[in-house]
Chain A
Amino acid sequence: MGSYVPSTKEERREMLEAIGLKDYRELYQDVPAEMYLDKPLDLPEGMSELEVSRAMNAMAGKNRVFSTVLRGAGAYDHYIPSIVKYIPAKEEFLTAYTPYQAEMSQGVLQSIFEYQTMICELTGMAVSNASVYDGATAAAEAAAMCRDRKRRVTLISAAAHPDTINTVRTYCYGTNDELRIVPAKDGKTDLDALKEMLTADVASFYVQQPNFYGQFEDCTAIGEMVHAAGAQYIMGCNPIALAIMKTPAECGADIAVGEGQPLGMPISFGGPYLGFMAATAKMMRKLPGRIVGETVDAKGDRAYVLSLQAREQHIRREKASSNICSNQALCALTAGVYMSAMGPKGMAEAANQSMAKAHYLAKGLCAIEGVSLKYEGAFFHEFVAVMPKTEEVLAALADADILGGLPVEDGILWCATEKVSREELDKTIAIVKEVLGK
């Protein structure tokens, strides 16, 4: 049995004696006899470190690690610099608690302050929080921020990620508020439908940029439409794209959110990820979750603290705007290290290369007979290619150690990042050509 309890049998006996007890059962004197477990749980025997390592390695070994990943759809396989893995692994950062004691946690607080600044720079917005669980919950929290007494309906684009839509739907269900989905047309939000649906009871509209199909939405026009109807505008953005793309601030967004996973987190079967949330100065006090602020200490030196805590659950309890108690601190640290390691030029490079490689792939695939782009609009690093025999195509790619795009209606949603080489793309195109040529 593996154990992290330092005390020996002898020490335990002495400690029980020191508190005047004979056995452990006496410590549980308040537990009614009928529920006190007098036999061990039905769990296997514990293991030594060597044994558990063997068992978990075997489990990991049952998962296929493809050398080329061309599937995105909310989890993006970008290159993660080595330093981005090592810094968050430092035990101080890794095993610290929430920085409630500022004097003992300036390292965590400052790293979050730096992260908040970087998110503001990326999104162009005035203020960022310390992060929330992921992009989907960020969207849901943003929608909640916009609701007031008069306006309670949330609108969301059908071209957003299905998990985002479903999460927002769940949060709306929680507070008994209505969610209406604005249909998509030609792979983008149907602007005519949106206009009609922007009624006086609408609190906000959420659009994803680029959207689930990889398409760029007309975010400035949408922003104007939403504001003209008196509603608030939420944009959910890809953070790598933001290195080069028009910012939510430039598009007039009130709140900018997104999935921060591409900022140095591995795809890891879906988590842990990172939800970033940034807003206009006006919306500052409505932001949920932790926020770090700058101040001075008793000696007049610069210091960082958790701030604006009057918004939060431990103060306001049932009047809090959200129950969120934590952030994703280590992931926010990871994102901060990534953005610093890459810098503005490196991030622009990652964005441009992802876009270039996706277009190269699209071009090569569409040169094959029977393959065409489903949507004609400009795209970032994802696109839907219409093609027959999608199952065979993906199987043939898997045989070549390539995880192809996500099968969707009519075809496949492909994704390419800066990590994929021209050689791998050529190989992919060749295999697809071969399968479809048969």
Chain B
Amino acid sequence: MKLIFEKSVPGRGTTMLGKCDVEAVALPAELCRQEAPALPEISETDLSRHYTELCQKVHGVNCGFYPLGSCTMKYNPRIDEEIAALPGFTAVHPLAPKETVSGCYEALDTAKKYLCEVTGMDDMTFQPAAGAHGEFTGVLLIKQYHESRGESHRNKIIVPDSAHGTNPATAAMCGYEIVNIPSAPNGCVDIEALKAVLGSDTAGLMLTNPNTVGIFDENILEITRLVHEAGGQCYYDGANLNAVMGAVRPGDMGFDCIHMNLHKTFATPHGGGGPGAGAVGCKEHLARFLPSSALMDGDGHLQVRSFAGNFLVVIKALTYVMTLGAEGIREASANAVLNANYLMRKIQGTFEPAFDRICMHEFVLDLSEFKKRTGVSALDVAKSLIDHGMHPPTMYFPLIVHEALMLEPTETESRETLDWAAEIFRKLYALAETDPEYMHNAPHNAAIARPDEVRAARTPILRYTK
């Protein structure tokens, strides 16, 4: 398929603006650029068709099953899009007089109130634009907290080895040393390992619960108690909130601050990689450190992004929470867990679950034995799924499971879809014995065959050049 620049013809274009109705003003010569930027010159017809062509090479969750573990690819409701497109939300300036945007403040306050209730927190900010951004914000709250108590010597953040890569990266961005602790054989926190690293230099612990292998750590109260006893703070990575919302609250587990991924748990669309929103909630003792905007709210606070954050994303999440209500929130998480267990059971007898027990909203398959036997890897299985119109599950994460495939069906899938998915996995399990070569070269029916990623990294071509 051609790039848009390859469809560009000098002189083509559209007429979006009218003639200027005031006197032209010339930019002083020394401030002018020498050459015009080589942006596409293309008719609206060709522009429209170009993006239609591109669109046909994209798979969204509203288009088909997307069991990406840890990403919570649930259906993105259309009403949320419609509401977020209302001029009352899109056409208002962040610096408009507060009394003219009371609807915006109401939306933010309502979202805060509801999400604090869901998570057991006392206050919240919507300024972070993504999950990792929310982590950064949360850990900064902890940093400010210790500083305010004269305990800046606390320079270590504890992270389990099952954690998402953003956790240690975040801790590093906040000036902390990372202490990795190994997981227990069941994937949960090894209490003895935790005790061994806790001390007067502990700033905090970053944890996801249920953890990244989809298991709820039943020792969670002891874990948070131990960290608090050592003088540290507990940070909750809310990536897996979809398993437990309405059933248990991070605040009740002993966490001091959390982030949520509105684009996961609260159904706002992923957009191909953003914009999301990483709402950060905290208990009372951390509330005064929450970030704000210098221009909107005055100086003196942390700030992680301009203005108030990804406002329209919050609107979508709010619309979703209001749609679900108390009962719907509970129903969503309960059925996310039911669907995951159902799918896991249906695959039983083929690929091995890493932990053969009840899971939460996601489960991990361990293909290491399978690979030894058939030579077919988790990657090969993932690529083969593409030929069946299924987006592959998460691969090779978490690091504590080898040849991992992590599946998270979410609650918005029907039983037929789950049955169909299980059938595909069974087919591929059998195919690995009869035709592994076919799987090594999958996908066969996608827009492209396997790309040469090594070449891409070795000889970076990061832009089009005529």
Contacts and interface: CB of A to CB of B under 8 A. Distances in A.
Q: Do A and B come from one complex?
A: yes
B313 A102 contact: no
Contacts of B95: 71, 73-75, 406
B401 to A, nearest CB: 15
B271 A45 contact: no
B448 A102 contact: yes
A368 to B, nearest CB: 17
A269 B101 contact: yes
A326 B276 contact: yes
Contacts of B42: 340, 343
B248 A272 contact: no
Q: 7 tightest A-B contacts by CB?
A: A46-B325, A270-B307, A60-B88, A330-B271, A95-B60, A62-B103, A272-B275
Given A59-B103, A266-B90, A308-B457, A91 B391 contact: no
A158 B165 CA distance: 35
Contacts of A246: 30-34
Interface string A329-353: 1110100110111111111111011
Contact of A324 (B20, B74, B132): B132
Nearest to B445: A103
Contacts of A83: 44, 47-48
Given A63-B104, A87-B51, A107-B54, 7 more contacts: A1-B325, A26-B358, A28-B248, A40-B246, A41-B330, A323-B170, A328-B274
Interface in A233-249: 242-247
B212 to A, nearest CB: 12
Q: How large is the interface on A (under 10, 10 to 19, 20 to 34, 35 or more residues)?
A: 35 or more
A343 B14 contact: yes
Contact of A5 (B3, B335, B450): B335
A353 to B, nearest CB: 5
Nearest to B59: A104
A107 B23 contact: no
Contacts of B342: 15, 18-19
B258 interface: no
A93 B360 CA distance: 29
A346 B391 contact: no
Contacts of A389: none
B36 A4 contact: no
Nearest to A377: B28
Nearest to B443: A103
Interface in B304-349: 304-313, 315, 318-319, 321-332, 334-335, 337-339, 341-342, 345-346
Contact of B270 (A6, A61, A97, A242): A97
B131 interface: yes
B323 A49 contact: yes
A35 B451 contact: no
Nearest to A261: B306
A244 B34 CA distance: 9
Given A163-B295, A269-B104, A74 B60 contact: no
A275 to B, nearest CB: 9
A401 B67 CA distance: 49
B63 interface: yes
B169 interface: yes
A93 B104 contact: no
Interface in A91-130: 91-99, 101-108, 110-114, 116-118, 120-122, 124, 126-128, 130
A21 B42 CA distance: 60
Contacts of B430: none
Contacts of A1: 324-325, 327-328, 331
A343 B58 contact: no
Contact of B441 (A130, A298, A314): A298
